Amino acid sequence: MRLLGHKQKVLFLLLVILTATASLMAMAAENQTKVRVKVNRANIRSGPSVETETLATVSLGTVLEVQKKEGDWYKVSFSSPERGTISGYIRQDLVETLKEEEAAEVKKPKPVLQPKEKRPRRESQLFHRLPSIGLKVGFNSSRLYGANVAEFEEYLQYEMKARGGLNVGAFIVVPIGSYFALQSEFTYAQKGAKTEPEVEGVKVKVAMSLDYFEIPALFRFYIPSETNFRPSLYAGTYFAFKLSSKVKGEAEGVKIEGDIENVRGTDAGFVFGAGFDFNLTALGHSKIAFDIRYTLGVTSLSTEPNVETKNKVLSFSVGYIF
């Protein structure tokens, strides 16, 4: 192979430099191309596809600098006072190429940025920091328990059965952070028990009706949830004032009723329960609350010494939280 002479080497080197320079100038010319938005509003996207995220929205007349061309899309950039330089993609049919003289004269309009999408906050973040109030109504299944109740059942040879009753009232919930709350209630509660012994072949119905104004104080824990369904567990105490204490009997169509004199005027005990709130998005911040609880009395109902008779109640209720 014949070696190149000195002159040939110099000419070859110059040719390579000129070719590289021309390529760089072509690339620079492409990078310096400016386009102008020719529609009222156009989206700048994160990729060359209409399915990609919208980074910003620009208005009619906005001038953009073209970085490169990809298919039917331009990769462009522009400056935003709020977010600095933004790079993205715009469809070619939404812009027109500016001549060099026009690009120098045109003042860039301020682009209209696409507001960032607000993601829905977690349910725990929606929990209001202000107290909320509500109303509730439900059903009680109450019994009596204690040493004297067991003796009474043994004497009659009949079990004391549960008495159905009503519970209705109002409550207030005071949040403590995102997952805890204090709850106080003011409730009318029907308690007691009943039995149906058979005396000398005659079936007798006897019901003890104990009505109270009850004030529970509860500590509630909300189980974390990202939905409108918000379960919770709670525990606490209650204190109750007796409103009435009656005994009702019926045998062979004959009914009798009378007051029970030796029932204590107050009652107290513990409360354990669970429930859930369901957010009614159509009604703003209102909620429907469902509740199940077990109430266990710890004080004897009788004013007589050495008599142990106490309340225990299983309750179901539904409430509306404003």
pLDDT at 81: 74
- For 275, the domain range is 123-321
Do 224 and 99 share a domain, yes or no?
A: no
Of 166, 214, 213, 205, nearest to 318 (Cα)?
166
Residue 278 in any domain: the answer is: yes
Of 272, 273, 283, nearest to 320 (Cα)?
283
Total of domains in the chain: 2
Residue 65 in any domain: the answer is: yes
What three-state secondary structure class fits 116? coil
Query: Domain holding 242: CATH number?
Result: 2.40.160.20
Residue 228's pLDDT band (boundaries 50, 70, 90)?
confident
Residue 15 in any domain: the answer is: no
The pTM for the full model equals 0.59
Domain endpoint, select from 72, 87, 118: 118
User: Among 18-22, 23-27, 250-254, which is the least confidently predicted range?
Assistant: 23-27
Q: How far is CA 103 from CA 28, 35, 61, 74, 97, in A?
A: 15, 8, 11, 17, 9
pLDDT at 11: 58
Of 245, 236, 266, 150, nearest to 190 (Cα)?
245
Do 38 and 51 share a domain, yes or no?
A: yes
Do 131 and 215 share a domain, yes or no?
A: yes
Do 91 and 237 share a domain, yes or no?
A: no
Give percent of the chain above pLDDT 70: 79
Which tokens hold the place of 153?
């059942």
pLDDT at 127: 44
Residue 14's pLDDT band (boundaries 50, 70, 90)?
low
What's the whole-number mean pLDDT along residues 64-76? 89
Domain endpoint, select from 76, 100, 118: 118
Residue 94 in any domain: the answer is: yes
Contact assessment for residue 81 and residue 109, using Cβ atoms and an 8 Å cutoff: no
Residue 96 in any domain: the answer is: yes
CA distance 80 to 46: 16
Tokens 């190149």 sit at which residue? 4
CA distance 110 to 133: 49
Tens digit of each residue's pLDDT (9 = 90 or more) over 257-310: 999 989 999 999 999 999 999 887 766 778 999 999 999 999 999 998 888 999
**pLDDT of 8 above 70:** no
